[in-house]
Structure 1
Amino acid sequence: MPASSPAHPRRRRRTNRLFVTAAGALTVGALAAAALPGSASADERHGEGHRPGRYQDVQLLSFNDLHGNLEPPTGSSGRVTELQPDGTTKTIDAGGAAYLATHLRQAREGNAYSITAAGGDMVGASPLISGLFHDEPTIEALNELELDVTSVGNHEFDEGAAELSRLQNGGCHPTDGCYTDQEFQGADFPYLAANVLNEKTRKPLLKPYWVWQKRDVKVGFIGVTLEGTPNIVSAEGVKGLVFKDEVETINKYAKELRRKGVKSIVALIHEGGFPASQSYNYDCDAPGAGDGISGPIADIAKNVSPDVDALVTGHTHNAYVCTIPDPAGKPRTVTSAASFGRLYTDTTLTYDRRTGDIARTAVKSANHVVSRDVPKAPDMTRLIDKWNTLAAPIGGRPIGYISGDIVKDGTESPLGDLIADAQLAYARTLDPETDLALMNPGGIRASLTYAASGGEGDGVVTFAEAFTVQPFANTVNLQTFTGAQLIQALKEQVSGSNEAAPKILQVSDGLTWTLDLTKSGADRVVTDSVRLNGEPIDPSASYRVATNSFLAGGGDGFTTLGQGADDLVGDDDLAALEQYLTAHSSAGSPLAPPAADRITIVK
């Protein structure tokens, strides 16, 4: 396959790489690094005037779930846990696109063959600096990071297929227009969506795969998102689209790539797993570590064709570098770099020129921290400053005051309680008979931190910080449910599609119930414990319930919440939070973190 010029010749690309388009860290070895005949450094193997050796190391740098976090994320969202040699752990501040750029550029030094790939959710659920501008700043930043290719994730569909196409191809926003005096140019890199089909044509929405080539070395990339994307994205966002099985899709296109002579293949999969440890450098292949990783990606990895040499994954925001046997029983590397740009993965793929395939016995991989002890990349800093200047008049406005961190972590979180209370208060301005509010935990994207950020004083909550917490522009919806439906909705937290990975709803003041973790499935919700203002829920009575529009559409597996009566659609949920903070806090009387004592947990 001959090399071609870049897919986007109008913009700068690395000069030492050619492309073909088609339809400080502790090392965790994904596989034992076996010595190969004729092994040598990249420069020695393919230096000018020298005949290349049989084996060529190809560097694969990867990350996932950036979610528009161009600035260093705050609170727990901006830290990683590192396992120490003595078995203890420590936390490290991490993330920020200006630091990520520096780390990636340093990692590429000395690697003549280097590819940068991502596992989806580059945009969506983004902080104000990106979300306010429909994520154009993040696409520009990814271009500066010299990203080569990414799969789509579920959040790439938050604003629908047409908006995703605009992010790929460029052009001003259809309603907001251009934000600067230059038209948005779109992504320098291809988005891959092999398992996302147009409902009418049954053809992939975007390219299913892409091939990187330098001289005689070719590596193919297949990109998919999780088949269950329609369950976690608004119905409008996936309208007219069909999401196919991940394994079947990858295997189909792996065969097609091999027919075209591409035998080295990497799958970019926006689906993930759950490691046995939360330390980014945990060795999940160590003796006694068990399976190392569980969850959907484990089953996918066991069934994806042996033609695929490595899997870059995401979605669960976890960090791991593991091996899982392919269907032929051969170990294969599976990686994920947490989220928000806090880590990147450096994988060495040893390409065998004789076979055109990856010599998997030589694959090595490790996650590395995007620490903040390196210089910020000047070009990325200028990009961030440009968009911050545009966002400042909106984002810097104070909307409330808090006396301490209000975190989003935990089965029931203080921030979850606050948001549910805010939605209940707002809903009662529309209907005074509203009884309670429910909030999905996945809709809470960051904690509210007491420490100053963005230049404001300690304890001040700005609009930008609140936007980072709730960036989806959902509305607050009111519906009427029977008591039996309400209890069924609570059971759906831990059953059906949520049984393996429960999604515990955050509840407003007055609603209490018990979660019994000694039981399984729906039985984990103790029915007799569900009470409103101290009174048991009456299965035959009617209750007026406030949720966001995502839950009101049955999102996150809460099908019962999509079956309410007497719908009333209110303002957006961020406005509800702003109104609540303004009404319940001041500089002299800041809001204290809620106690998070509404759900009793039995272990």
Structure 2
Amino acid sequence: MPRLLHYSDAENVYDDPTRAGRLAGTIRRLDGPDALVCGTGDNTAPGVLALIEEGRQALDLFDAVGPDFETFGNHDFDFGPEATRSLVRAAPQTWITANVYDPDGERFAAEETVPWTVETVDGVRIGVFGVTDPATPSLNPMARDLQFTDPYEAAERAVPELRTQGVDRIVALSHLGDGDDDLARRVDIDLILGGHRHSERDDRVAGTRLLRPGANGHAVVEVRFDATGSIGVDRHETAGAPVADDVASALRGRVDAAGLDEVVGTVSDPVERHDAAVFGGETRVGNLVADAYRWATGADVGLQNSGGIRAGPPLAGAVTVADLVSVVPFQERVVEATVTGAELRSILRESSAAVVESGAPDRWHGHVSGVRLTWDAAARRLREVRVDGDPIDPAATYTIATSAYVLSTDHEFPTLREQHRTGERALQFEVLAEYARTVGIDPEIEGRIRRVADATDRTP
């Protein structure tokens, strides 16, 4: 019976050629004539090599494992629609998108993509369609000229079309994240292979199996359809898997050619940057980035969104420019913004996912410099906020140094908008590298963010 091999959100896997080689080796080991290899977005960016190669480093993996199908993630547009079109033309897999359109209303890259398709595998006709988060233009300013239509309406068009073609199974390739639940409720399908959220998932909603493999090439999910209609699932960790030497060698060549091996600082106490730390409140890597922004601009406040710090190995020992690029691997500049004290208080309150929905409500989405705050989780309010040791004056004005991305999106810190911009500096990683050269890399936890769970706790 047919199998599906699912990978997603490979993102910075290419910056570690051995890990990328293990991902390729795992897929090769599992692949066969009874299998379809499927990607569900963000498999071309972000990352250090992605920034240098504009996503084309992913072709080393794609050409080696020959995926069958892929749908788009928000980061697959990091370098603009033309770069994405070029990559799609060069890639071996069929790109499936039912809800991404050019400004003129034509399906994006219509000559190279399809909205849905049918493949017969081991005698079973499998219908496949793909959908992408409609918030992508807000999440990724490089995609703002494209149209991302309602993915659920697109699915409701795709499913009847696939049924008329006599399919036995219907599978969605989804880069909707938490929207997979609504997708399962809107259409009657067998399986959703999901991405966007970096957490693993194996669940059922409205009779549909929902799967996610997690991010950064650490696992491949194998799905088995059997004759009884049931779905079997195995998760294959890539750690320790055989390395596909051709993939690893090709990527090492790209790393060497990038010339990002300048050592800009030394770290004796490793600086962690895994998701649990970055989204958990104050963290050393968050303080490092926010301090660098504030140092470079002289702003009152440094602000870094948690999602903009990418997970990866700790900063340890000799730290290179490439290491710092991998922390914030985006072509976004550090900008200065001027806000009132009342606006600043709202912006800091929006660090909580309980206020601006983004993942689990206990997640924390802001890292700060020049600020100390206490967050009352039960009451969903800021108990106290101080800037440079003083309480915020609602009528005063304050300057903020942050990423240009934060001003362009309404999904994080929606109070902070483009109209607040008053200046622009270098790219994020360039600022971080110059800070490391000049000041060093020695961040500490200082009590900048204090989160209190019990509203009755009034400890100062």
SS in 1 for 2:46: coil
> Aligned AA for 2:83?
E
Aligned twin of 1:244: 149
C-alpha deviation, 1:401, in angstroms: 1.3
> Aligned AA for 2:93?
F
Aligned twin of 1:507: 368
C-alpha deviation, 1:499, in angstroms: 8.2
C-alpha deviation, 1:365, in angstroms: 0.9
Q: Residues 172-251 of structure 1: matches in 2 within 5 Å?
A: 186-201=90-105, 203-205=107-109, 206-214=113-121, 216-234=123-141, 237-251=142-156
SS in 2 for 1:224: strand
Q: Is the 8 A contact 1:480 1:564 kept in 2?
A: no
- 1:385 to 2:252 alignment: yes
Q: CA-to-partner distance for each residue in 1:126-179, whole Å, 9 max, x for gaps?
A: 1x234311121112212212211111001112222221111101xxxxxxxxxx
Q: Quote the Cα distance in structure 1 between the aligned partners of 2:424 and 2:410.
A: 16
Q: Is the 8 A contact 1:402 1:593 kept in 2?
A: no
C-alpha deviation, 1:552, in angstroms: 2.1
Aligned twin of 1:473: 331
Identify the match of residue 234 of structure 2 among 363, 366, 383.
Answer: 366
Whose helix proportion is higher, 1 or 2? Answer: 2
- 1:492 to 2:350 alignment: yes
TM (norm. structure 1) is 0.70
C-alpha deviation, 1:263, in angstroms: 4.1
- 1:559 to 2:429 alignment: no
> Aligned AA for 2:104?
K
In the alignment of these two chains, the number of paired residues is 442
Identify the match of residue 532 of structure 1 among 387, 397, 417.
Answer: 387
C-alpha deviation, 1:464, in angstroms: 1.1
Q: Quote the Cα distance in structure 2 between the aligned partners of 1:385 and 1:534.
A: 47
C-alpha deviation, 1:556, in angstroms: 3.0
Structure-2 change in CA distance of 1:498 and 1:348 (3 Å): closer
Aligned twin of 1:101: 24
> Aligned AA for 1:460?
A
Q: Which runs of 5+ in 2 are unaligned?
A: 454-460
Q: Is the 8 A contact 1:257 1:263 kept in 2?
A: no
Aligned twin of 1:597: 447
SS in 1 for 2:415: helix
SS in 2 for 1:404: strand
Aligned twin of 2:303: 438
SS in 2 for 1:556: coil
Identify the match of residue 397 of structure 1 among 262, 270, 281.
Answer: 262
Aligned twin of 1:268: 173
- 1:69 to 2:21 alignment: no
Q: Residues 446-457 of structure 1: matches in 2 within 5 Å?
A: 446-447=311-312, 449-451=314-316
SS in 2 for 1:123: coil
Q: Quote the Cα distance in structure 2 between the aligned partners of 1:146 and 1:447.
A: 26
Q: Quote the Cα distance in structure 2 between the aligned partners of 1:146 and 1:468.
A: 27
Aligned twin of 1:302: 185
Structure-2 change in CA distance of 1:202 and 1:142 (3 Å): closer
> Aligned AA for 1:381?
A
C-alpha deviation, 1:435, in angstroms: 0.9
Q: CA-to-partner distance for each residue in 1:253-274, whole Å, 9 max, x for gaps?
A: 11112223334221001123xx
Aligned twin of 1:574: 429
Q: Which runs of 5+ in 1 are unaligned?
A: 1-56, 74-94, 170-185, 273-294, 326-330, 352-358, 429-433, 452-458, 586-590
Q: Is the 8 A contact 1:481 1:564 kept in 2?
A: no
Structure-2 change in CA distance of 1:202 and 1:489 (3 Å): farther
Q: Is the 8 A contact 2:99 2:150 kept in 1?
A: yes
Identify the match of residue 219 of structure 2 among 333, 336, 343.
Answer: 343
Q: Quote the Cα distance in structure 1 between the aligned partners of 2:449 and 2:132.
A: 33
Structure-2 change in CA distance of 1:407 and 1:596 (3 Å): farther
- 1:158 to 2:85 alignment: no
Q: Quote the Cα distance in structure 2 between the aligned partners of 1:536 and 1:377.
A: 57
C-alpha deviation, 1:210, in angstroms: 2.9
Q: CA-to-partner distance for each residue in 1:42-98, whole Å, 9 max, x for gaps?
A: xxxxxxxxxxxxxxx10101011001412549xxxxxxxxxxxxxxxxxxxxx8121
C-alpha deviation, 1:226, in angstroms: 1.3
Whose strand proportion is higher, 1 or 2? Answer: 2
SS in 2 for 1:322: strand
Q: Is the 8 A contact 1:427 1:478 kept in 2?
A: yes
SS in 2 for 1:296: helix
Aligned twin of 2:458: none
> Aligned AA for 2:347?
A
575-584 vs 497-506, greater mean Cα deviation: 497-506
How big is the alpha-carbon RMSD for the aligned residues of Structure 1 and Structure 2?
2.1
Q: Is the 8 A contact 1:321 1:334 kept in 2?
A: yes
C-alpha deviation, 1:300, in angstroms: 2.6
Q: Is the 8 A contact 1:415 1:447 kept in 2?
A: no
> Aligned AA for 1:525?
R
> Aligned AA for 2:366?
L
Q: Is the 8 A contact 2:2 2:121 kept in 1?
A: no
C-alpha deviation, 1:558, in angstroms: 2.2
Aligned twin of 2:194: 313
SS in 2 for 1:103: helix
- 1:146 to 2:66 alignment: yes
Q: Is the 8 A contact 1:406 1:447 kept in 2?
A: no
Aligned twin of 1:168: 88
Q: Quote the Cα distance in structure 2 between the aligned partners of 1:203 and 1:129.
A: 29
Q: Is the 8 A contact 1:66 1:339 kept in 2?
A: yes
Q: Is the 8 A contact 1:439 1:506 kept in 2?
A: yes
Q: Is the 8 A contact 1:58 1:113 kept in 2?
A: yes
Structure-2 change in CA distance of 1:105 and 1:447 (3 Å): closer
Structure-2 change in CA distance of 1:441 and 1:215 (3 Å): closer
Q: CA-to-partner distance for each residue in 1:288-314, whole Å, 9 max, x for gaps?
A: xxxxxxx433233222x21x2211001
Q: CA-to-partner distance for each residue in 1:6-28, whole Å, 9 max, x for gaps?
A: xxxxxxxxxxxxxxxxxxxxxxx
SS in 2 for 1:147: coil
Q: CA-to-partner distance for each residue in 1:459-491, whole Å, 9 max, x for gaps?
A: 110111111111102111111101111112123
Q: For the pair shown, which has the larger CA radius of gyration, 1 or 2?
A: 1
